[in-house]
Each structure stands twice: as structure tokens, then as C-alpha cells.
Amino acid sequence: MLYNPAKHIVEETNDGLAIFDKARTTLIKFTPNEATTCYEIPDGITTIDRAAFKDCNKLEEITIPNSVSAIKAFAFSNCSSLSAIKLPKCLKKISEGTFKRCINLSDIVIPNKVTSIGNQAFAKCKNLKTIKLPDTIETIGIKAFDGCEKLRDVILSKNLKAITKEMFSGCKSITNITLPGSIKTIRSDAFFLCTDLREIIIKSGVDAIEDEAFNSCENLSTIYIPDSLTHIGSDVFDDCHNLKEIIVDENNPQYSSMDGVLYNKDMTSLLVCPPSKETITIPDSVKTITMYSFWASVIEEIKISPNVSEIEPHSFESCYNLEKITVDKTNPVYCSIDGVLFSKDKSCLLFFPQGKKGSYYIPNTTNTIKHGAFTDSKLTDIIIPNSVKYIEYDAFFLCFYLHHIIIPQSVVSVGENVFCSCRELKTVTLKSLIPPLCEKQSELFFDCINLQSIFVPSKAVEAYKNAPGWKEYASFITPEH
């Protein structure tokens, strides 16, 4: 910073260069000498200014007098060697980024008068192992402990109002934590990538868990939902591969559980089947299987009960062990053929299990291949009958094992990105003289890195080369042999 004799006092000592305000109550900037590893802030200083010690990467210890009542944002950020610091008793706030990237800081005592901790205050303190928050603390900013990889022991204030966005993101060593009833909301990604978190106790009082709050907590096995919780966002338990059970308090007005599976209160909607649960019996009360409810499940077979009338898109996504879907014969909306899910009249192919391998012959009752029907499947070969007219978007998305496909002349339209990321797909043969309709901006073969040829009838080569959606692949279009 620029030194102004009218506003600043500069003192040079054996430790380094310090700049104070004219009243000598604010330490504005300290620059240590090359050999300085410890510094004692003079008594009488009441404020440590913004970034006052920022990037003092050789300082190992800083002594702060009890006269200090305010420490501004980023005051000690990037002090990479700092391992010991004692905060003054009268401090009321830990500001934004105060200790960000103090990678050698392993322990710190928060004074009992502190009421708030700012955004990223301890972010990337990779060696911080323990944090005990006094009950005076009511608010903590976003990413406050983000990336504290060795943080293991956490005791939260009994008056904390919220677990903020990404507050403990990347805290890979936390194994268990209790959230007090003072907390109302667990914000999105609050515990993202807490890979060693195994148990979390949510006390009564918490009323909302936002989207992806526990995303990638891969060792989380059990979670307890209190009676107060009335909102669970989307993808809350995404990639929690070892989650076995969700237990809901029987007095909860919004949710219920049976055999560790999460339902709405009256059990008409199946919301979350824990990924590591190996079997499930869907109750007859269930009418809706919700989007992503079986995400990454290890279940090999799912039996659809008679009263299920709606299976939302992506319900069984990333179920790589799923080989068979069986539908109760009395179900009026759905049926299954050889373990594949269809509409009751067998005209719409809805979902091909992602664990089902090899070749597949689509029944000749099929009129439509629904969007995402074969997404990420282990399909190697497929025969599409002349009964099929419509192939919807993403129908064969991520079919890595599919090498060749023949689209019959009956097909009149194909959806957007229908073969996107079919990386082993080499040839596509189309039988129709009229190019199937598709979106103008459709990227039918995006990321099909091994595509060699798109064969079409010799009389239709020019039609395909000029048709919306197809003309982008004109260099691949060639007459069928």
C-alpha cells in the first residue's frame, strides 16, 4: 500500500515493517523481514485491517493482544506457515476469509463473544482438525470450512440458525456430526464430498434440506429425519453409494419411511431408495415413483406394484446392476416384457435396464422408443422392427457398447441427441427414402468419435445431405451397399 505521512505511522523493527493509522489503534499492514517467524502485535491496537498479514507465508506464530476487538476480512489469509494464534477475548466477529488457506493451522479456539463467522473464514485450512463453536454463534457464512480436509471433530453452536451453502464441502475426515434443533435449513452442497461422513443426527427443529446437501457423502450409511423436516430438495443423497436406510420420525407430517426407503406421508410416492439397499418391496399404496428415486441403486430386480400409475423420467438412472423390471399383471398403466418396461398396450418402450447385457430385439408391437429408453445401457446389438415410428431424444445416449444400428423405413422422426456419446458406434443404416424429421439444432451423433458411415438408400443421398439435423453429418452420408 502507499504510505501517507498525514494518515499513517510507519514503524520498522527487527521483525519487519508495520504501518498503523495516525491514532495507532489500527494495524493496517505488516511486512515481516525474511527471517521473521513470530510477531507480537503491540498492545493498544483495537483493529487489524483488511489483509493486514495476507501472504506473510513465513510467519508461524502471531500474538494478538486482548485490546483487539475487530479483525477485518482476509487479515491472515495465505499465511501458509501459521500454526499458532490466539484470538482476543473481546472479538465478536470472524470476518470473511480471515484464515483462508492457512494450511498449517491445526487448532484454534473461538472466543465466547463471537456471534458470526464470515464466508470462507477457514476455507482450505487443510490441517485444521478440530473446531468447537461457542453457543454465542448464530450465523456462519458460505464455504466457511470448505476444503478443511483433516477436520474431524466438529461441535456446533446450539444457537446456530443454518448450515450454509458448501459450509463443510470437502471436509473429507468428518465421520459424524450432530445438527442442533436451532438450525432451520441445511443449504445446498453443505456437506458435499464429506467422503468419510458415516452418520448425521438432525435434531428436531430443522425444517428444510436443500438440493444436493449430502452429495457424494459416499460412506454415509444412515440418516434420521426429524418430525420438523418438511422439505427435502432434489439430489440430496446423490452419489451416497453406501446409504442403507433413511429413518423418518413417525410424527413427521410430510414424510414417512418403511424398510429404510423414503416416501411421502401417505406412502403414495416413493421418493428415495437408498443406493446400497439390495432389495425392495414397493407397497401397494405407491402410485408414483419419482425422478431419480433409484439413482445409482445396486438392486438387480425391481417389481412394480399394481397401483403405480406414474414412473417419472430418470427414475432408474445409473442403476448399473438392474437387470430386470417386473410389473404386476394387474397394473393398468405398465407392463414388462423380458424384464424391459413398456406401456400397458406395449406400444411404448419406456426403459431398458442398464444392467441387462447383449443383444435385444424390440417387440413388433412397439410404436415409440421413449426418451432415454436405452441411456447408458450395456446394449451391444439391437433390432428395431418396422412398427417403430418415433425415436425420442436421448434414446440411445451413452450406449458405449453399441457398434451398429439399422433404422427401419417406418421411422418418421428422431429426437435430439438420439445417439449422443455412442463412442463405439461405427455405422448407422437408414432404410427410409425420406429423412426422418429431427430438430434443426439436433446433434444426432455428438461425441460419436468412431462414427465412420451413415448408410442411406442411393436415391436419398442428396435428400439426407440437405435435411435438417442430417446435413451436419453430410461427410458421413454414403449410399447403402
* Domain locations in the chain as residue ranges: 356-479
Amino acid at 429: T
CA-to-CA separations, 328 to 231, 284, 304, 360, in angstroms, rounded: 32, 10, 6, 23
Provide the pLDDT for residue 5. 72
Q: For residues 72 and 94, is the Cβ–Cβ distance under 8 A?
A: no
CB 366, CB 389: distance < 8 Å:
no
Can you read off the three cell numbers belonging to residue 157? 453452536
- Put simply, whether the predicted model's pTM sits higher than 0.85 gets the answer yes
Closest CA to 413 of 446, 382, 435, 381: 435
Residues of the chain with pLDDT under 70: 1-3, 440-441
Angle value at C-alpha 123, between 119 and 128, nearest 5 degrees: 130
Instruction: Determine the pLDDT at residue 440.
Output: 62
Q: Which three cell numbers stand for residue 463?
A: 435428400
- Which strand (E) or helix (H) includes residue 139? strand 139-140
Closest CA to 419 of 443, 390, 386: 443
Q: Which string of DSSP letters, residue by residue, matches 165-218?
A: TTTTTT-TT--EEEE-TT--EE-TTTTTT-TT--EEEE-BTB-EE-TTTTTT-T
Report how far residue 361's alpha carbon sits from residue 383's, in angstroms, rounded to the nearest whole number: 5
Q: Report H helices in 351-407.
A: none
pLDDT more than 70, % of the chain: 99
Model pLDDT, residue 408 = 98
**Count, residues in the chain:** 481
Give the CB-side neighbour count of residue 44, counting CA atoms within 13 A: 6
Residue 217, classified by CB atoms within 10 Å of its CB into exposed (0-12), middle (13-18) or buried (19+), is buried
Topology (CATH) of 356-479: 3.80.10
pLDDT of residue 2: 56
- Give start and end residues of each alpha helix (H) in 31-167: none
Residue 249 makes CB contacts below 8 A (sequence gap 6+) with: 204, 224, 225, 226, 227
Task: Residue 349: name the closest of 333, 362, 338, 332 by CA.
Answer: 362
139 half-sphere exposure, CB direction, 13 A CA radius? 10
pLDDT of residue 1: 54
Residue 283 CA neighbour count, 13 Å, CB half: 18
Backbone angles phi, psi at 426, to 5 degrees: -105, -40
Rounded Cα–Cα distance for residues 375 and 17 (Å): 64
> H or E stretch including 406?
strand 404-407
User: pLDDT at position 442, please?
Assistant: 73
- Comparing CA positions, the residue from 263, 143, 272, 142 lying closest to residue 220 is 272
Give me 250's grid cell.
413417525
What residues does 107 pair with on adjacent strands? Answer: 130
